[in-house]
Structure 1
Amino acid sequence: MTSPLHNFIPSVLDLADTSLRPLDSTHDLCSAFPVMQQLRPHLTSEADFVSRIERMRVEGYRLIGAYDLGVLVALAGYRLQENLVYGAFLYVDDLVTAEAQRGGQWGSRLLQALERLARASGCARLVLDTGLANARAQRFYFREGLLTGALRFQKQFDTP
């Protein structure tokens, strides 16, 4: 069963920042691949990336891109979700700024847009994960007003 949260897709007006827009088309996804690959180097090809995004969209995954003079410089992948721990929340899967553009407040602008989207969608919080060893990202998130709220445990399996 699909949650009503999955059906909400922002328009440009919802984002309130004219440099940001949803990445919906296959062309948009292809242009996002080089930026996303900086965060997710295990992505092997543009086709693999587009295929994964299309599968994840069924579960509500969406991308927002940040543009500087018509060039994609940063992006955020997110999902509107609900669980018994948080209630309705916006989960940030991916947040990346192209290396040459870092320090330009693009990540901050994307997080602000995601917060507006979460609030407009009735979410009680915005949630994201980062690696325990990723001190730079942790400092950035603290500066943006995010606080630690959980410690995630995982078990990795060998897959064919």
Structure 2
Amino acid sequence: MDVKELISEQEWEEAFPIMNQLRSHLNENEYVELVAEAREKDMYRLFALYDQGEIVAVTGFKPMITLYYGRFVWVCDLVTDTHRRSKGHGEKLLSFVHDWALENNYESIALSSGLQRYDAHRFYEEKMDYNKASYVFKRSLT
């Protein structure tokens, strides 16, 4: 298994079928536009885990600094192909993010997970040793 940063539009498009399993509200054009803008304006990084040459999991994250967390990495997206779950792919990819953060002098990792995603919560808490730190609130302005 190999982790690779996806930096071209073609690579982002190759990852779309996996990312779309998590971000089903986006079509491919919206996804590519958002990845491009987030990379340009917000230091967003997109990585894929490959198994035998095929993308099996994708993560998108951005390094951040806030007064609450200090220097940390915010995991925006983490998804393993539904047909390849429970094989350690998510753990390997999230561990890669941990290593990237440490190598780049970030102190912690934070993420948000939808209230209905019980399996993901169990994965973060039991497998990856994350703690619930807060609630995330959202308000649409449109």
Give TM class, smaller chain: over 0.9
Is 1:136–2:119 an aligned residue pair?
yes
Letter in structure 2 aligned against 1:35: I
For residues 89 and 101 of structure 1, the distance between their equivalents in structure 2, rounded to whole angstroms, comes to 29
What TM-score do you get using the length of structure 1 for normalisation?
0.84
Paired residues in the alignment total: 140
Is 1:122–2:133 an aligned residue pair?
no
Is 1:63–2:46 an aligned residue pair?
yes
SS of 1:131's partner is coil
Give the RMSD, CA atoms, in angstroms. Answer: 1.1
Could you tell me which residue of structure 2 aligns to residue 13 of structure 1?
A: none
Q: Which runs of 5+ in 1 are unaligned?
A: 1-17
For residues 51 and 27 of structure 1, the distance between their equivalents in structure 2, rounded to whole angstroms, comes to 12
Could you tell me which residue of structure 1 aligns to residue 36 of structure 2?
A: 54
For residues 129 and 26 of structure 1, the distance between their equivalents in structure 2, rounded to whole angstroms, comes to 26
Could you tell me which residue of structure 2 aligns to residue 35 of structure 1?
A: 18
Deviation beyond 4 Å, 4+ runs, structure 1: none
For residues 24 and 121 of structure 1, the distance between their equivalents in structure 2, rounded to whole angstroms, comes to 19
**Deviation per CA, 1:6-29, whole angstroms, max 9, x where unpaired?**
xxxxxxxxxxxx511101111110
What TM-score do you get using the length of structure 2 for normalisation?
0.94
Q: Percent identity?
A: 33
| Deviation of the 1:54 alpha carbon | 0.3
